[in-house]
Amino acid sequence: MLKTELTELVRNGESSGVEFKRDDVHPQSLAKEMAALLNLAGGCVLLGVEDDGSVTGLSRDLEKVEEWVMEVSRHHLQPPVIPYWETLVWDQERHVGIIALPDDSPDKPYKAKQGGAWVTMVRVGTTSRAASREEEARLYQSSGLVRYDLKAAPGSGIADLDARRLGNYFRDIRGQGFPDGDDEAASQLLVNTDFMLQQRNRAVPTTGAILLMGRKPNRFMPQAGITAVAYSGEEKDYAAIERAVLRGPIVPLLSAEGEVVENGLIGQAMDFLRRNSRVESWIDDGGRRQDRWTYPIEAVREAVVNAIAHRDYTIAVTDIELSIYGDRLEVISPGNLPNTVTVEKMRSGYRATRNELIKEVLRDYRYIEATGLGVPRKIIRGMLDHNGKEPDLIEEDDRFTVRLWA
């Protein structure tokens, strides 16, 4: 770090990624701040800086303070970390210690030793505190240590799964038999394929199965749906053209010929788009009629499918949002990107998932490419070919937005 960068950090004060501490702070207090920063997006702790931004400098010998920092990192954090440590000269008499913590650690959640317990810490603005149960669950999920779509859906049973869709999937998509009318044999097959799990000698549907093929997914997960709104102007307005709350299983019900008999959530979203999009038509040089939608259908479908497949379902009070404005379309997915995923990696075709079962089933239905190139090919290139306007991919405030320009 350059002296100018340090000066800027001190001048700007504490933030979600910067914490000021004296170097005589208690080890558990330092560990608390480090764990919280690691669980958010990394950052740095500046030792020798007071809460008000005044620089008092390090009071310990430089070698001893480094040993102390590494000791705290090793024995008061779980899992242990090795932060990047450096000291910078503030003036002739004072030094500032810098504990730099990475922003892409795959080992979340980090816990700090607090008394005799290990506590998961989170950073909220300039404050570090113990995580709630829901916050801790999201950290486990983001690291891939816990898969939400493989958790049991409490209170559900095999009767809460749509047997018609299950038959479609196993017979027509996977090309294997499905034991209609035999709940015991069906349960065993579903347990073997992660659609159900054994819990206290009883087979219980997983949340992924309920989301994909449940009769009424919202009975068990209120967040299982899409709120769709079409506005006439460029801002949100009470006088919308159409508002719809889209509910139901993710995948469609198909006929034996593969025709859609009953739309799933993805199909409902695409129907909403068609109802609220304009079509430009013209006759080409060969005398054939040509139509072009306001937005390329493939790009919108990819954005909706990605939101359904990769959203954070531990955020239990928020739907996916599909908003159509006069100048743009937005698909907003609750939750930050899964651990190690960045916007730049997505643009390059990075493959990662938060809900593996949902992703795999959608891939079986050919909604998702196995290559991970849906974003660069269908969304980015699709929009550039359509109107030359690059889409916006934005991660902020516990949500991810795909914005397509009309």
Report the range of poorest mean pLDDT among 107-116, 155-164, 304-313: 107-116
Say which residue, 321 or 139, is predicted with more confidence.
Answer: 321
With cut-offs at 50, 70 and 90, classify the pLDDT of residue 371: low
- Cα separation, 354 vs 149, in Å, equals 9
Q: Which CA distances in Å does 356 have to 10, 289, 363, 377? A: 43, 42, 10, 22
What pLDDT sits at residue 234?
A: 92
pTM confidence score: 0.69
Please state which of the four CATH numbers 3.30.950.30, 3.90.550.10, 3.30.465.10, 3.40.50.720 is assigned to the domain occupying 3-130. Answer: 3.30.950.30
Q: Which H or E run contains 387?
A: helix 382-387
Handedness of CA 313, 315, 317, 320 (dihedral sign): negative
Check whether 341 has a pLDDT greater than 90: no
What pLDDT sits at residue 166?
A: 95
What pLDDT sits at residue 229?
A: 96
Predicted confidence (pLDDT) per residue in 56-89, tens digit: 889 888 888 899 999 999 999 988 888 889 998 8
Whether 342 and 365 have beta carbons less than 8 Å apart is answered as: no
What percentage of the chain has pLDDT greater than the value 70?
95
Predicted confidence (pLDDT) per residue in 302-319, tens digit: 999 999 998 888 887 889
Report the range of poorest mean pLDDT among 90-94, 164-168, 231-235: 90-94
- Cα separation, 25 vs 320, in Å, equals 43
In whole angstroms, how large is the CA radius of gyration of the chain? 26
Predicted confidence (pLDDT) per residue in 231-276, tens digit: 999 999 888 999 999 999 999 999 888 889 999 999 999 999 999 9
Predicted confidence (pLDDT) per residue in 2-23, tens digit: 888 889 998 889 998 999 998 8
Considering only CA atoms, which of 378, 376, 380, 381 is closest in space to residue 392? 380
- Hey, what CATH topology would domain 225-405 get? Heat Shock Protein 90 (3.30.565)
SS3 57: coil
What pLDDT sits at residue 144?
A: 61
What pLDDT sits at residue 284?
A: 66
Considering only CA atoms, which of 90, 93, 94, 124 is closest in space to residue 14? 124
The residues spanned by each domain of the chain are: 3-130, 149-215, 225-405
Predicted confidence (pLDDT) per residue in 136-158, tens digit: 877 877 666 667 888 888 889 99
Whether 281 and 291 have beta carbons less than 8 Å apart is answered as: yes
- Cα separation, 202 vs 40, in Å, equals 38
Predicted confidence (pLDDT) per residue in 374-385, tens digit: 888 999 999 999
What pLDDT sits at residue 406?
A: 92
